[in-house]
Amino acid sequence: MPSLQTALPPELANNAIRLYRECLRRARFVGHQQHNTELVVDMVRQQFKKHMHETDPEKIQKLKDDAARGLINHILHESEKMSGRKFSNNS
C-alpha cells in the first residue's frame, strides 16, 4: 500500500520531529475548540513517546502514515466546516 505521506509536504512527512510538531499544533487547535487542550496534547505526546525508540523501518513508516492520516483527516474536517461542502465519501 502506498504511503499516505505523499499528501503532505515532503519536508513535513519525511521528518518525524516536524510531523510531531504539526500534530501538537493541531492538538492545541482542536483542544482549544473543545476546551480540553491539555488532554488532547497529552494524547499526542503519549503516542509519540510510546514509539520513540522504534527501530523497524516498516513500523516507523506505518506510524508516520498513521500520524499523516490524522492530520489529513483534521484538515479535511476543517475544510468541510469552512466551505459547507463534504469532501469525503463517508456519511
Any domain includes 3: no
Would the pTM of this model clear 0.85, i.e. be above it? no
Any domain includes 39: yes
Q: Residue 64 to residues 14, 47, 55, 69, 82: CA-CA distances in angstroms?
A: 9, 11, 13, 9, 27
Task: From 86, 67, 66, 65, select the one nearest 76 (Cα to Cα).
Answer: 86
Structural domain boundaries, residue 53: 10-79
Any domain includes 84: no
| pLDDT (tens digit per residue) in 57-72 | 888 888 888 888 888 8
Any domain includes 91: no
Any domain includes 62: yes
Coil/strand/helix, residue 61: helix
Provide the number of structural domains found in the chain.
1
For range 70-84, the mean pLDDT: 81
Any domain includes 89: no
- For residue 1, name the pLDDT band (cuts at 50, 70, 90): very low
